[in-house]
Structure 1
Amino acid sequence: MERPEKQEPGKRKVSEIKTFSVPFTLEKINENITITTSTASKHSKEQIINQAFNFHSQGNIKEAAKYYQSFIDQGFKDHRVFSNYGIILKDLGKLQDAEVSTRKAIELNPQFPDAHYNLGIILKDLGKLQDAEVSTRKAIELNPQFPDAHYNLGIILKDLDQLQDAEVSTRKAIELNPDFAEAHLNLGNTLKDLENFQEAELSARKAIELKPNLFNSHFLLANILIEQKRLKEAEISSRKAIALNPNIAEAHLNLGVVLTDLEKSQEAELSTRKAIELNPNLAMAHSNLGIILKNLENFQEAELSIRKAIDLNPDLAEAHSNLGTVLRELGNLHEAEISIRKAIELNPQFADAHFNLGSILSDLGNLQEAEVSTRKASEQNPNLAEAFFNLSLIQLIKGNYKDGLENYEFRFKKKRPARIHGKPKIKRKDNKEFQKGEKLLVISEQGLGDTLQYMRYIPYLRKKGLDVSFSAQTKLHSLIQSSAIDQNPLTPEQVEKVSARQWIPLLSLPKYLKVTPANSIVSGPYIKTTEALKNKWQRILSKEKKPIIAINWQGGLETEKGYQGRSIPLETFSILSDLQNIKMLSLQKGFGSEQLDSCSFKKNFVECQPQIDSTWDFLENAAIIENCDLIITCDTSIAHLAGGMGKKVWLLLRYIPFWTWGLERETTFWYPSMRLFRQHERHNWQEVMERVSRALKSEISLTTKSYRSIDESGISPS
């Protein structure tokens, strides 16, 4: 889960359930004697021992125990009795008595391998792993062909973290008994811990073949498939395990993990709540439920759930890490940092915790330490693509474009990879440089603003002699054609029909072109509307006799989840309405536009605002922007549209902005006509807007007779 582990200490890990073979051997019983336990003492030594063995073989351990105890009380001595009685005492939870009884068996017959074997089992349950190893090895010394002893030695060695030796012992058990399903199962467990997932899968499937209804094998296979990211198969195995034993909390927990990774959050919640119902003290289930609730944006309940996990197990590093991610969502960054640092204190090798700490430190503006934490995560888990991607964002925002753009390619290897607009069937371009005459399909990706920002390079590539086709979101096609970016842009649906060329993601072009702040490649205006639309909106807006300031305040709902804090409440712009010599115009569409209905300065907007609100076409919106005197916007596609047109645009940025805008300057090489207004304090838009207001006042003369005295270079007195 957040992140599920490698098994990263964490969310996918559940208590391992081991199966053991029958922990005793029975010699042949020559007679079948039926007596009541109350008269056991009246019978001969042979009668008592055989009846005890008979009950034991039937699994009636309470009756067997009575006969064993009667045998011992009468002073009889038989090493088999003391050995088997020791196992019964173990099963009854009397481990110390079990050890005494089994040691008595060894005293009576030091060459009896079963007694040494059974003593190993008891000592293991007592936590005396080294002594258990010694006893089990003695059993193997006395009987090298004893598969159960090799099998149990493998379990003991695995618990001692001697995984290679555990593998050898378990393979020996299988060599001696190829149909030993439990040995194949435990070999799979060992190979999984050795991260040899392919062989682990084969072992788990062999165990299932030998015993199709062995719960543990399906449970193990599900875990292995989770590690291999084969989530749909993992779901099938998890559901099979639950069908075999619906009362194992860990099985429901694992199904919850799979469903979470499949983004089936509501089903995941049901599975995880079932795990908690079966075992209310299963801390990992409460921790995982918290992450699921976070994904469902139920942050308060998520926090409560994870805090419950910590109450149950204060040393559960995953819970502290998960709590940090939830607190980050709630905006409690300092508390989030404390929680993540606690997770790292508990488990210094927890890659996901270092990754999460890096994210929080980035939000706090501590980029140096954020980079250290993120690098630590990538070192501990070289397969954690999210860490390399986050490292790229830190490098880029600090101006290290060379390394940053290289690591930015990890956006396609993340658990939730970047989305391209189309499904190409052709080969993706390798890392070789562009060659003249090369046939290339460039496919847009991610948001509209990304396409608007990077489509500038399409004409540049053609000028360099490349044969370029361009696929982009359909709603941008008219603007792309009008701007001479591409006269025949492809739709995402047409991408899979393209052949005889290679494809490349649009946002990878800066890496290939070696773009840096000092090497912008394309910086002048490259987006154009049509003359007809430009003239149409000039006629409509000419009715206004004051400078027109266009504003945009809210980003898209989905993007907002990953870029929190970039949007601005519309009411914050009210300070600008105090300026009597301007008219405001809303460029806001969809989510957020409802704020216009109740804002305190609605009367300050242009008369044609309803007509503008109904205009969704980008080409026409570009014409509206062309006829405005200044664009003031948060970080949305409007900023890229206006900047790409060369219009004067003031961009309002959160404390730590998206990497495109860097950290310090008031200008950007991406758009020379753009001015950046940065937050000096997290969440404080009021202070930013006060600066914007002062800047606006300084550029507008209160005695301006007509807003048409404003030229294209910006707002200034005539």
Structure 2
Amino acid sequence: MASASRNVSAPVEDTLRRARISHERGALDDAERGYRDVLKIDPDHAEALHMLGLLHFQGGRMNEADTLLKRSIERMPSALALANHASVLIGLDHRDAALDRLDRALSLNPSHLRSLLLRAGVLADLGRYVEAVTAYDCLLEIAPTFVDGLCRRGAVLRVLGRHMDALVSSDRALSVDGRSFDAHRLRAHVLRDLGRLEEALESYGRALAIVPNNAEALLMQGLTLADLGRLEQALASLSDAIAGQPDFIDALYNSAVMLERLERFEQALARCDRVLSLDAGHAGALGNRGNALYGLGRFADALESYDTSLRVAPDSLEVLCNRARVLTHLRREQEALESCDRAITLRPGYGPAWFIRGRILQRLHRYEEALASHDRVTEIDPSDRLALFQRGNTLRSMMRHDEALAAYDRVLAFDPENIATRFTKAFVYLQTGDFERGWAEYEWRWREAQVGNFKRAFAQPLWLGEESIEGRTILLHAEQGLGDTLQFCRYVKFVKARGARVILEVQAALKSLMEEVEGVDQVVGYGEPLPPFDVHCPLLSLPLVFRTDLASIPSGVPYVRANPGQVAKWQTRLGTRIKPRIGIAWSGNPNHLDDHNRSIPLEHLLLLLSDEVEWVSIQKVVRDEEQPLLETSCIRQFGDVIGDFADTAALVECLDCVVSVDTSVAHLAGALARPLWMLLPYLPDWRWLLDREDNPWYPTARLFRQPHAGDWAGVFQRIRAALPSIAQVHSAALPT
């Protein structure tokens, strides 16, 4: 019998040896045949069962591997077989069973490194992090230079928030192997968690020098660059991750976020759509898609995307707040408030929801409630500069200007060069008549995002009145809106009086009108080549140059004039005047930040009209949604035949009075010295000052202010009461 056993054993062991060689060389089909040949001879051969089970595990055939490894262990238990069976059980997501196998393996061989490593990993997978650290410590007592163990231990310590210990673990690994990708990556992750972003970036760079195309490291490098505000570089890193792994959703999504933050909204939208083609329910991509659409001004589409995102992740605070923003743009303020309140219910201390809520309430003129919301933000974070700034804006809207200035000063205590705050302080000073401080602060406008777009970069120096310009050529250039140009072109003659040749650059629509302004030597329209000049000055810096205060405002009108020939044409077009002829303008630039406050819906204005007056629209542009209503009203329209502002000036000269909201046509009427009735919101633009019916900039203006925020009805009531005075002037002017 002994001889027969040896005869069987020899070919089995030889076949097993050849199968193992094939297995090691990657010839898996040959290896499988060899293992099966052994099992045909000896069905309970423990090593063949073990190796065939391992081969199936490597091929992803988990259930077959499970069966084979169980049989192997029953025949001849070993630490290695138990560890490999544990790996299969982990693959089958049976971690508790895997832990039992590993405990048994270590009972057979307490120093078995693979079992120690796997056991620590399973404990971490099960969320038993403290036990996992202890398990890694046991492993490292036996193998203190085991780099993989050091890195895995560091990763668990990071999860536990023990970042300094994790950093020690990564540094120990690097002391063993300075080119360990895992150790450099772990170190970078920990440093990023600690907020040591530049050091983290350096470590990501070292990791990527070892494995240049690792998508996960490129992703994290990109996110770190984004945290540092280096968005273009962040986008480049994320793009590299995508180039190596085109379907890497995390990189695709975060690149969409970068594109949206860079205001490349079309590209951001396309990138979000790419993410959604891979994962239609990706809540982040749906939300960021809404952000991109919001940036493109496609508010209804943005709302739809936010709503879809919330169906996937109904508790997303950020999306709820962004939804509130877009609803506000759609003038659905009550729904916007409900969206904020939902976020606050989910997390009462979520500052952004309180902040947006305050902005919406301010827009609704519910100032006390808005103030309470902003105060809640500053309770959550006393250093929240944006909330402090908006608190100041709310106080300003409530006419509590001293308190508003105090709120702005709190912002400046944190950030002395906060541009929006310095710029807004200028408005408060100007509105309250403190021109000396107002004009000085107003120079901060060039550093403000929107106004800064108007800043001109000339080789010639800026002139602010310090040096003589006698015999020199100065370029005075318009900035911001048409109304600003009309208001401040009055200063041209004073510059001319300094002995300079004056070139005036203005918006094309104003060019012909400005040619008759006193003191102008040459008028240039935007976009036209500029003639040579020595110095330059923006128009709205001229009050600073001339140290204008309330008593010294250049109030002489008219300082622009209509062309008599154009006036005659308009008189013919309008026909015989048989009753008072009043021009009206009810809306201005829809893109103006304060348009919702300044403009009046046409349907409200129609309540003012009476048959005793001939009403003439002096708006060249009417909003599409208002055109049908205008066509059915008694208002005469000439928008399609009104040319530039010189043409509008001629039309205004033919009117008894202009009734207008705060728009460029109002400035035109004032500059022409025509009777002007201004319809002003409760908190108007700074130039209309406070608590007075007249205006030193325009002596022919009469101001009709809202008695309360949003109360146009009160304004209309006063206008109707005053209309007979225009009729009397008209009657006195008729021939007898």
Q: Please tell me the TM-score bracket, short chain as reference.
A: 0.7 to 0.9
| Alpha-carbon shift at residue 257 of structure 1 (Å) | 3.1
In the alignment, is residue 72 of structure 1 matched against residue 86 of structure 2?
A: no
What secondary structure sits across from 2:703 in the alignment? strand
Query: Normalised by the size of structure 1, how large is the TM-score?
Result: 0.75
Q: In the superposition, relative to structure 1, how do residues 109 and 329 fare at CA in structure 2: closer, same or farther (>3 Å)?
A: same
1:250 to 284, 298, 322: 284
Q: Which moved more, 1:537-546 or 1:687-696?
A: 537-546
Q: Which moved more, 1:583-592 or 1:119-128?
A: 583-592
Q: In the superposition, relative to structure 1, how do residues 89 and 414 fare at CA in structure 2: closer, same or farther (>3 Å)?
A: same
| Map of 2:350 onto structure 1 | 316
What secondary structure sits across from 2:550 in the alignment? coil
Residues 460 and 536 of structure 2 are in contact (CA less than 8 Å); yes or no, is this contact kept in structure 1? yes
In the alignment, is residue 431 of structure 1 matched against residue 431 of structure 2?
A: no
Give, in whole Å, the separation in 1 of the partners of 2:255 and 2:627: 50
Please list every run of 5 or more consecutive structure 2 residues that lacks an aligned counterpart in the other structure: 1-23, 27-46, 54-64
| Map of 2:400 onto structure 1 | 366
Residues 488 and 540 of structure 2 are in contact (CA less than 8 Å); yes or no, is this contact kept in structure 1? yes
In the alignment, is residue 555 of structure 1 matched against residue 587 of structure 2?
A: yes
The one-letter code sitting in structure 2 at the alignment partner of 1:637 is S
2:390 to 333, 356, 363: 356
Residues 173 and 183 of structure 1 are in contact (CA less than 8 Å); yes or no, is this contact kept in structure 2? yes
Give, in whole Å, the separation in 1 of the partners of 2:236 and 2:727: 79
The one-letter code sitting in structure 1 at the alignment partner of 2:689 is G
The one-letter code sitting in structure 1 at the alignment partner of 2:424 is N
2:557 to 515, 524, 535: 524
| Alpha-carbon shift at residue 232 of structure 1 (Å) | 6.1
Give, in whole Å, the separation in 2 of the partners of 1:175 and 1:348: 43
Where do 1:102-501 residues align within 5 Å?
Answer: 102-106=136-140, 112-129=146-163, 132-133=166-167, 136=170, 139=173, 146-163=180-197, 166-167=200-201, 169-170=203-204, 173-174=207-208, 181-195=215-229, 200=234, 204=238, 207=241, 214-224=248-258, 248-266=282-300, 268-269=302-303, 271-377=305-411, 385-405=419-439, 407-408=441-442, 414=448, 416-417=450-451, 427=458, 430-433=461-464, 435-436=469-470, 438-439=472-473, 442-481=476-515, 489-492=523-526, 495-498=527-530, 500-501=532-533
Residues 181 and 208 of structure 1 are in contact (CA less than 8 Å); yes or no, is this contact kept in structure 2? yes
Cα deviation, 1:418-455, whole Å, max 9, x if unaligned, reads 776xx99x837653346345555555454443332233
Give, in whole Å, the separation in 1 of the partners of 2:236 and 2:573: 72
What secondary structure sits across from 1:564 in the alignment? helix
| Map of 1:708 onto structure 2 | 733
Q: In the superposition, relative to structure 1, how do residues 356 and 105 fare at CA in structure 2: closer, same or farther (>3 Å)?
A: same
| Alpha-carbon shift at residue 707 of structure 1 (Å) | 1.5
Where do 1:468-617 residues align within 5 Å?
Answer: 468-481=502-515, 489-492=523-526, 495-498=527-530, 500-501=532-533, 506-521=539-554, 523-532=556-565, 548=580, 550=582, 552=584, 554-556=586-588, 558=590, 562-567=594-599, 585-589=615-619, 591=622, 610=636, 616=642
Q: In the superposition, relative to structure 1, how do residues 214 and 707 fare at CA in structure 2: closer, same or farther (>3 Å)?
A: same
Q: In the superposition, relative to structure 1, how do residues 351 and 223 fare at CA in structure 2: closer, same or farther (>3 Å)?
A: farther
Residues 537 and 627 of structure 1 are in contact (CA less than 8 Å); yes or no, is this contact kept in structure 2? yes
What secondary structure sits across from 1:62 in the alignment? coil
Residues 496 and 520 of structure 2 are in contact (CA less than 8 Å); yes or no, is this contact kept in structure 1? no
What secondary structure sits across from 2:596 in the alignment? coil
What secondary structure sits across from 2:119 in the alignment? helix
Give, in whole Å, the separation in 1 of the partners of 2:25 and 2:96: 19
Q: In the superposition, relative to structure 1, how do residues 464 and 538 fare at CA in structure 2: closer, same or farther (>3 Å)?
A: same
Give, in whole Å, the separation in 1 of the partners of 2:400 and 2:568: 49
Q: In the superposition, relative to structure 1, how do residues 49 and 438 fare at CA in structure 2: closer, same or farther (>3 Å)?
A: farther
The one-letter code sitting in structure 1 at the alignment partner of 2:732 is Y
Please list every run of 5 or more consecutive structure 1 residues that lacks an aligned counterpart in the other structure: 1-26, 603-608, 711-718
Q: In the superposition, relative to structure 1, how do residues 230 and 381 fare at CA in structure 2: closer, same or farther (>3 Å)?
A: farther
The one-letter code sitting in structure 1 at the alignment partner of 2:694 is T
Residues 65 and 85 of structure 1 are in contact (CA less than 8 Å); yes or no, is this contact kept in structure 2? no
| Map of 2:670 onto structure 1 | 643
1:669 to 690, 693, 696: 696
| Alpha-carbon shift at residue 283 of structure 1 (Å) | 1.9
Q: Which moved more, 1:374-383 or 1:558-567?
A: 374-383
2:681 to 633, 642, 654: 654
Q: In the superposition, relative to structure 1, how do residues 615 and 207 fare at CA in structure 2: closer, same or farther (>3 Å)?
A: closer
Give, in whole Å, the separation in 2 of the partners of 1:381 and 1:52: 61
Residues 102 and 115 of structure 1 are in contact (CA less than 8 Å); yes or no, is this contact kept in structure 2? yes
What secondary structure sits across from 1:369 in the alignment? helix
Give, in whole Å, the separation in 2 of the partners of 1:318 and 1:705: 56
| Map of 1:605 onto structure 2 | none
Q: In the superposition, relative to structure 1, how do residues 627 and 147 fare at CA in structure 2: closer, same or farther (>3 Å)?
A: closer
Cα deviation, 1:294-325, whole Å, max 9, x if unaligned, reads 33444343333333333333332222222222
Give, in whole Å, the separation in 2 of the partners of 1:165 and 1:92: 32
Residues 573 and 689 of structure 1 are in contact (CA less than 8 Å); yes or no, is this contact kept in structure 2? no
Residues 418 and 445 of structure 1 are in contact (CA less than 8 Å); yes or no, is this contact kept in structure 2? no
In the alignment, is residue 32 of structure 1 matched against residue 51 of structure 2?
A: yes
| Alpha-carbon shift at residue 137 of structure 1 (Å) | 5.2
Give, in whole Å, the separation in 1 of the partners of 2:726 and 2:319: 61
Residues 41 and 70 of structure 1 are in contact (CA less than 8 Å); yes or no, is this contact kept in structure 2? no
Give, in whole Å, the separation in 1 of the partners of 2:574 and 2:52: 108
What secondary structure sits across from 2:582 in the alignment? strand
1:62 to 93, 98, 116: 93
Give, in whole Å, the separation in 2 of the partners of 1:571 and 1:222: 43
Aligned length: 664
What secondary structure sits across from 1:676 in the alignment? strand
| Alpha-carbon shift at residue 659 of structure 1 (Å) | 0.7
Q: Which moved more, 1:398-407 or 1:641-650?
A: 398-407
Q: Percent identity?
A: 27
| Map of 1:9 onto structure 2 | none
Residues 79 and 106 of structure 1 are in contact (CA less than 8 Å); yes or no, is this contact kept in structure 2? no
Give, in whole Å, the separation in 2 of the partners of 1:669 and 1:137: 72
Residues 354 and 376 of structure 1 are in contact (CA less than 8 Å); yes or no, is this contact kept in structure 2? yes
Query: Normalised by the size of structure 2, how large is the TM-score?
Result: 0.73
Cα deviation, 1:596-616, whole Å, max 9, x if unaligned, reads 8888xx7xxxxxx74889874
Choose between structure 1 and 2: higher helix proportion: 2
Q: In the superposition, relative to structure 1, how do residues 365 and 252 fare at CA in structure 2: closer, same or farther (>3 Å)?
A: same
Q: In the superposition, relative to structure 1, how do residues 431 and 228 fare at CA in structure 2: closer, same or farther (>3 Å)?
A: farther
Q: In the superposition, relative to structure 1, how do residues 431 and 372 fare at CA in structure 2: closer, same or farther (>3 Å)?
A: farther
Structure ID, larger Rg:
2
Give, in whole Å, the separation in 2 of the partners of 1:637 and 1:695: 23
What secondary structure sits across from 1:337 in the alignment? helix
Give, in whole Å, the separation in 1 of the partners of 2:317 and 2:537: 45
Give, in whole Å, the separation in 2 of the partners of 1:540 and 1:151: 78
- Higher-RCO chain (CA-CA 8 Å, sequence separation at least 6): 1
| Alpha-carbon shift at residue 336 of structure 1 (Å) | 2.6
